[in-house]
Each structure stands twice: as C-alpha cells, then as structure tokens.
Structure 1
Amino acid sequence: MRRRGGGFTLVELVIVIVLLAIVATISVRFVTLSTGGAIDTGARQQRALATVVISEQVSRALREALPTSVRTNGACIEWMPTIAGSNYLNLPRGANPDSFEAVSLADGQAAGGRIVVYGYGGNLYNPGSPGPISPPATVPAGNGPVTVTFDGGASHRFNTNSPQRRFFVVASPVTFCQDGGFLYRYRNYGIQPGIASSLPGSLPNREVLAANLVPGSVQFQVTPPTLLRGAVVTFAFALQDADSGEVTQVSQEVQIRNVP
C-alpha cells in the first residue's frame, strides 16, 4: 500500500529522534572526554613545571652551603650559606686574638659574616673558642693582604688548620622545613643548637617556597663530606593536584662542592 503525500510517519519521527539523541550523547561524551583529557594534561604539565622550579630552588640554595654545616632531621634541612672564601696567612694568636691576616677576597671586595676554618674539628652550631667558627667578623676590601677583624672586639681561636690554608665567610643559618602542605624557608634566627628549633613564625623571615605538597612527603638525607669529596644531599617531595588528587613524586641529589 503506498503512502500518501511526502510526510513522515510517527514511527519514523521517533526513530530519527532516537538516532539523533544517540549521536548527540556520543558527541557530548567525546567532547567531555577530550576536554577532560586536555585539562588533565595541562594540570600535569603545570605540576611538572612546579616540581622543576621547586627542585631548582632547593638545589641552587644548597649548592651555596658550607658542607660541614649541612644537617637534617628528615623533614627539615639546615645549613650556613657561603658568602666568600680565601686563604689566610696566619691564624689568630696571643692571649685574646681579635684578628688575623689573609689574602683579599676576589676582586678586592669586602664581606661580613662568621669565619670558618676547616670545619671538621667541631660542631658549627655550638660556637666556642677554640672552635671552627668565629664570632661575626669583617673582611675589608682591598688587594693583597688584608686584616680580618672580629666585630665588637671579640676574640677567637680556631682549633685546627686547613690543609690548604682556606677560610670561608658564612652567613646566618637557613632552614627548609615542611609544615603541612607547605615548604617554608626560614632565615635570620641565629645559631640554634637543635635543628628546626626557635624558627620564625611569619614574614619576612618565614617565606613559602612551595605549596600543594603531600603532607609528610618532604624528606632530606645528607651524606657527610670527606677529605676526597663534598657533601651530597638527597631530597624528595610529592605534589598533589588539589582537584583530581593526582600525585607527582620527585627525587633529586645535590652535590655541595665547597672544600676546606
């Protein structure tokens, strides 16, 4: 029996609607998956870039450390940054020595900080005389021999010599420490006998170095220096995406090449 006219029957119309619905559902699902994949890829790339930035910041800071000053308790690491270094001509002598003669710093520059000689003969975080670390001192500008003077008329004796007659000028200690999901940088808190004790609680002496860390994921390990090589610091951390919960883990080694 032939159908009159050029219209559609109700059955045909329903079939068309169902087919269009199936196509639309597949298209929406495809677009959703594609968009989700692009968002996830972008989030992974941002997280990977963040890990590179964090690793580079930690590595650059640790490369400036005096090897014998690096110490850790696992979640925190502390060290004394090296400002400058040169050779001494003689070490402080006499009843109350307050200065010594040394070769001028590179380019004849001046520097201020504590003086460390050798650093293997005692605890740098328990300063005393005799000992490897001095009170605050000043290395004056100049070319040729200069007189390094301990500030405020303080006196100090070093308890050992350097095989290469080297001395370093170091700044106040710096600590990297995880607290919850953040990695903080602490400074200007002085020399403390224990690591991660009496640290500043706010800016400008406590700065956020990294965020979105997995709590408890930051781990530091120090291989002490020897007479043949510098110290090696291994550190690991994990970043977590705040939306997806996906985690990116990082582990890296840093060799500290400053030598006595």
Structure 2
Amino acid sequence: MRRHAGFTLVELIIVIILLGIVATISVQFVALSTSGAIDVGARQQRALQGVVISEQITRELRGAFPLSVRTSGSCIEWIPIAAGTSYTELTKGPDFDRISVAPLSNVPAIGGIRAVVYGYGTPVSSLYGDSDPGPVSSEISAMDNGSSPAVITLSESHRFSRQSPEKRLFIVSEPVSLCQSGRFLYRYSGYARDPSQPAPPIDGISEVMAANLQGNVDFQFTPATFRRAAVVQFTFTLEDRQGDETTTVSQEVQIRNVP
C-alpha cells in the first residue's frame, strides 16, 4: 500500500508558533523604529523652535537702548532705538522745541518716536516718564534731514536735564515688553509709557513668541558701565506636547553701550 508524505499536527503547530514569534518581533521592531523616528523629529522640532525664539529675542534686544532695559520676574522691558546721531545744539528758548543734529543716515518714520539724551546716574524710570526737564523729549513731529545741520522739531517744548559726554542723541520708539503668562511668552507693544514696569496682562498689542513653556522664563540683566556693554541673559524650557521630554535654551546678549 502506497504511503502519502505530509506534515504532522505537531509540526504545523510549531510552524505557526514560529511564524507568530517572527511576526511579533517584526511588529515590535517597526513600532520601536517608528517611535524612535518620531522622538528624534520632536527633539529636532523643539531645538529648531528654541533657536528661532532665541534668535528673535536676541535680535530685538540688540536694538535696545542699553540704559532702558529693566526686568521683573518673567518680564523684560526696553526702549528700541530707531536711529542715532550727534547733536550740535539742544533745545533752547524761547520755544524749546528744536534740536540741531548731524544728518541721519537712516530717517525713521514720524509717529511715536522721541529724542533721548541720557546722562549716567539718571534713574531708568525717567526714560519711561514725561518729566520736563528730563532725558526723553516729547514726541517728534517733524524732521528736516536735508539741511546742515539737520533739524528735529518736537510736538511740545522740552528741556533736557543732562548732556551726553560725546553729544550723542538717540531717536527711540515706544517701549516693548516680553512677559510670560502661563505656558506662553508674549510680546507687548503699543502701550502707554509708565515709570513703573508694567506686569501682564499689558494693554496694547500682544503677540505670542513662544508656547509649551515649562517653568518660568528667567531674564537676568547686567547694566552697562563705561568699560563694557550691557548684558541680558535669558533661559527658557520647551516641553514636548505628547511626552515628558524637555529642551532648555540659554542665551546671552550683549547690548552695545554708547555714552
């Protein structure tokens, strides 16, 4: 009688078990590879986000009037420089509304800009006030940059409290603040000047600069001196939206100091 070759039930069960093991290992390998790729992508995205945020803050701070920077908790405030020049004659009577300066290479747009002659030893809060005499003028209403010397016309009379050792005059715009609120870092502008540093929420225009923050943003400020520039150090931590990983960014910004 002829016998037929085939697989026994035990052999079939063994094959099925082996195939199951191979399939499980393959699935786990693919899952782990996919998870690893996602984690790497998330780290790269947080790192890129940190670089972009840090660069935005750095670029803005480098354009700050160095003696105007002030910090309070997770907030930093400064007055941006729109232009700079040297004056030949400050305001004088009877109107006290004109300043003679060297022609500007970059003429800022009229609107919300002021002239600053800052003497060392003057309180920082005076840069945010409207005192007369004081280091900050009333708003500039017109600029004749074609004449020699150029003439800056103020909207109201003003007398400067001090002079610059190098006759430096700065044109500045309205104050800007960066403040943390919860997990977000906001940029505030277009609000009223105040001798006391405002705390969030601040009236005016607010823009989100960073999200998914963990902990508090730390701003540290070292004032300028005759021998070195002002320095701002800031640190913030970004948290992964879907995990527990974090990325911490620290940056130091030097703000050139010109008396």
Conserved? CA contact 2:67–2:224, under 8 Å: yes
Q: Give the unaligned 5+ runs of structure 1.
A: none
Match of 2:134 in 1: 131
Q: Which runs of 4+ in 1 moved over 6 A?
A: none
Q: CA RMSD in A?
A: 1.9
Q: For residues 238 and 62 of structure 1, do their structure 2 counterparts lie closer, same or farther at Cα, with a shift above 3 Å needed? A: same
Match of 1:182 in 2: 184
Match of 2:171 in 1: 169
Match of 1:146 in 2: 150
Match of 1:37 in 2: 36
Deviation at 1:174, TM superposition (A): 0.4
Q: C-alpha separation between the residues in 1 aligned to 2:161 and 2:193?
A: 19
Q: For residues 142 and 198 of structure 1, do their structure 2 counterparts lie closer, same or farther at Cα, with a shift above 3 Å needed? A: farther
Q: For residues 199 and 188 of structure 1, do their structure 2 counterparts lie closer, same or farther at Cα, with a shift above 3 Å needed? A: farther
**TM-score computed with the length of structure 1 as normaliser:** 0.91
Pair 1:49-2:48 in alignment: yes
Q: C-alpha separation between the residues in 2 aligned to 1:239 and 1:87?
A: 43
Conserved? CA contact 2:82–2:108, under 8 Å: no
Task: Summarize the alignment of residues 1-260 of structure 1 with structure 2, pairs less than 5 Å apart.
Answer: 4-94=3-93, 96-106=95-105, 109=107, 111-112=109-110, 113-120=113-120, 121-122=122-123, 123-137=126-140, 138-151=142-155, 154-197=156-199, 199-200=201-202, 205-214=205-214, 216-260=215-259
**TM-score computed with the length of structure 2 as normaliser:** 0.91
Deviation at 1:96, TM superposition (A): 4.9
Percent identity of equivalent pairs: 54
Q: C-alpha separation between the residues in 1 aligned to 2:166 and 2:109?
A: 21
Q: Give the unaligned 5+ runs of structure 2.
A: none
Q: C-alpha separation between the residues in 2 aligned to 1:110 and 1:39?
A: 47
Deviates more, 1:190-199 or 1:114-123: 190-199
Conserved? CA contact 2:75–2:199, under 8 Å: no
Q: C-alpha separation between the residues in 1 aligned to 2:52 and 2:200?
A: 28
- Matched residue type, 1:80: I
Q: C-alpha separation between the residues in 2 aligned to 1:197 and 1:36?
A: 42
Conserved? CA contact 1:79–1:173, under 8 Å: yes
